[in-house]
Amino acid sequence: MTELLTQNILNHITLSKKELESFCSLFNQKEVRKKHFLMQEGEICKFEGFVTKGLFRVYHIDSNGFEQVLYFAQENWWITDIDSFTNEKPSQLYIQALEDSEVLLISKKDKEFAYNKIPKIEKLFRVMTQKTHIALQRRIIDNLSKTADQRYIDFIEKYPKLFQRLTNVQIAAYLGISHEFLSKIRRKIASKK
Amino acid sequence: MTELLTQNILNHITLSKKELESFCSLFNQKEVRKKHFLMQEGEICKFEGFVTKGLFRVYHIDSNGFEQVLYFAQENWWITDIDSFTNEKPSQLYIQALEDSEVLLISKKDKEFAYNKIPKIEKLFRVMTQKTHIALQRRIIDNLSKTADQRYIDFIEKYPKLFQRLTNVQIAAYLGISHEFLSKIRRKIASKK
DNA sequence: TCAAAACATTGAACAAGTTCAATAAATGAA
DNA sequence: TTCATTTATTGAACTTGTTCAATGTTTTGA
C-alpha cells in the first residue's frame, strides 16, 4: 500500500528501513470517488497527500465563476494547498477526483512530529518544495511568453499519459483558454499534419 | 551592514545572537552598478543573495528575443536562480541591477555549512521557499484569470513603492503585455478618474 | 550643457482569444 | 438498450492585446 510512497521518498533522500516504516505509518489511506472532493474552498487544509491511484485536479474559481486549474495530480504526485496547510487559513482551492482515486494523507501534527523525529524528512520536503518552485517559475515564464498553441503542444509533450486522461475542458482550464478555442487549436494542428 | 539581514531572519525564525553572527559572517557584500549584471544566462548561479540596497530584475529572454520578468527584488528581498543554484546547471535567467545596488551573497558551500551547523537555518529557507511558492501560485492563477488592466491595478496596489521605481517597459514585461498596450491601459484608467 | 539614448504615447491594421448559440459525438446510469 | 448528460466542434461577431511606425518627452553621460 505504501510501496509507491517509499519509492517516491527514496528518489529524494535516503532513509533506513526503520525510518521509512516509521514515517509511512503516519499516513492514512483515503478513497475518493470520481467527482468527489478531497477539499473545498473555505476549508482549512488539514493534510498533505500522496496519490497512489487515480487523478485529481486542484483548481480555483474566480469571481466570474471561471475555473483555473493550478495543477493535476496523478499517481506518485503530492497534493495539498500549501498556503492553507502551512498558515492554517481557509483555502481558496478545490481538490476534486477526476477518477476513482486513492490518497495517503498525513496530518500537520504528524508531519511536524516526523520533522523532529527524522530530520531528513525536513530535507525531503524542502527538496520537493524547491522542485515545485522551479516548475512554477517555468510555468509563469511560459504563460507570459508562449502562445496558447505552443502551450498546448508543450503540455502534450510533457505529460503524454496525463493528457489522455483529461478532457479538453480540463486542459483548457490549465492552459488558461476557453475550451472552444482549444478545439480550434486542435483542428489547426490536425490539419497541418 | 547586516542589519537588514538579521532583521529579515528574525522575522522568520528565532536565533541566538551568536548563531545570527555566525550565519551572517558567511555572507559577502557586493556592489552592482546600475545596468550591470549579477548573473547572466548560461552561468551557473553560485550564490543566494539578499538585497540591502537598490533594485534588481530577474528575467528571461525567450526565443523571439522578448524579455519576461520573473520578479523584481528591492531592499529586503532574497534573490537567486533556485534551479541553477540547487541543481548546478546553467541558468536561463539574467539578474540585472536597475539602480546602483548592494547585495549580501552566500555560496552554496557556506549555505550547506550553515544547514549543518545551525539546523534552524534549514527551517528558515524552507519557510521562505514556501512563501515564495504561495506567491507563485497566486500569480499563476491571476495570470490565468485576470485581464491585463486588472493585473496592472493589482500590481500598483500590491507594490506601490516598487511601482514608482520602475519604468513602464519593466512593468509590462512583468505583466506579460507590450509596453504600448500598457500605455493604453494607463490612459484608459486616467480618463476614468 | 547638449546630443544621444532611453522612455512614453498614439493610431491604424492586424492577430489572438472569447462569447454565444447551434449541433454532433461520446459516455454513463438505469 | 436507451435516453439524458457531458463533452467536443464549429461559425460569426466581438474584445483584448500586438505590431509597427511616427512623435514627443525625459534622462543621462561625455
* C-alpha cell at position A75: 499517481
Partners of residue A141 in chain B, C-beta under 8 Å: 60, 62, 68, 70
- Name the band, by pLDDT with cuts 50, 70 and 90, for residue A119: confident
- Measured distance CA(B29)–CA(B158) in Å, rounded: 29
The answer, yes or no, to whether residue A193 has pLDDT greater than 60, is: no
In chain B, what residues touch A144 (CB-CB under 8 Å)? 68, 143, 176
Test mutation, B142, B145, B150, chain A, max A CBs within 10 A: B145
For the stretch A42-86, pLDDT in tens is 999 999 999 999 999 999 999 888 999 999 999 999 999 999 999
Structural domain boundaries in chain B: 2-109
B134: closest CA among A160, A193, A11, A129? A129
The answer to whether A57 and A72 have CB atoms below 8 angstroms apart is yes
Q: Is B147's CB less than 7 Å from nucleic acid strand D?
A: yes
- Judge whether residue B189 contacts strand C, using its CB and a 7 Å cut-off: no
B67 contact partners, CB below 8 Å, separation of at least 6: B59, B60, B61, B173
A83 closest CB neighbour out of B83, B122, B134? B134
Amino acid in position B67: E
Q: Calculate how close chain B gets to A35, using CA atoms only, in Å.
A: 22
pLDDT digits (tens, 9 = 90+) for A142-184: 999 999 999 999 999 999 999 999 999 999 999 999 999 999 9
Nucleotides of chain D within 7 Å of a protein C-beta?
7-12, 16-21, 29
CB proximity B30–strand C (7 Å threshold): no
| B9 CB-near residues (< 8 Å, 6+ apart) | B15, B20, B23, B124
* Residues 52-71 (B) with a CB less than 8 A from some CB of A: 60, 62, 64, 66, 68, 70
User: Which phi and psi angles does A50 have, rounded to 5°?
Assistant: -125, 120
Q: Return the C-alpha cell found at B89.
A: 546547471
Cβ pair A103, A79 in contact under 8 A: yes
- The terminus-to-terminus CA distance of chain A in angstroms comes to 44
- Per-residue pLDDT of B57-97, as tens digits, reads 999 999 888 999 999 999 999 999 999 999 999 999 999 99
Give the pLDDT confidence score for residue B156 in this predicted structure.
Answer: 96
What's the CA A164/C1' C1 distance, rounded, in angstroms?
68
Q: Alpha-carbon distance B49 to B39, whole Å?
A: 11
φ, ψ (nearest 5 deg) of residue A26: -80, -10
Parts of chain B with a pLDDT under 70? 192-193
Average pLDDT of chain A?
Answer: 94
Q: State the CATH class of domain A2-109.
A: mainly beta
Banded model confidence at residue A126, pLDDT cuts 50, 70, 90: confident
Task: Name the β-bridge partners of B51.
Answer: B103
Strands (E), chain A: 28-32, 37-39, 47-53, 55-61, 67-74, 78-79, 93-97, 101-107
- B180: Cβ under 7 Å from strand C? yes
Burial class (CB in 10 A: 0-12, 13-18, 19+), B81: buried
Angle between helical axes of A148-158 and A168-175 (0-180°, round to 10)? 120
Taking the CA of residue B67 and the C1' sugar atom of nucleotide C12, their distance in angstroms comes to 26
- Model pLDDT, residue B53: 95
Q: What is the sign, positive or negative, of the torsion defined by CA atoms of A40, B131, A111, A123?
A: positive
Q: What is the pLDDT of residue A169?
A: 97
| A interface test, pick of B133, B139, B155 with most A CB neighbours within 10 Å | B133
**CA-to-C1' span, A152 to C15 (A):** 18
Residue whose Cα is closest to the C1' of D7: A167
B116 by Cβ neighbours in 10 Å (0-12 / 13-18 / 19+) ranks as exposed
- The C-alpha cell that represents A50 in the structure block: 500522496
Give B35's contacts (C-beta < 8 A, 6+ positions apart): B96, B97, B98
Instruction: State the Cα–Cα distance between residues B24 and B45, nearest whole angstrom.
Output: 20
Residue-wise pLDDT for A77-98, tens only, equals 999 999 999 999 999 999 999 9
Q: What is the DSSP letter of A44?
A: B
Write down the pLDDT at residue B54: 96
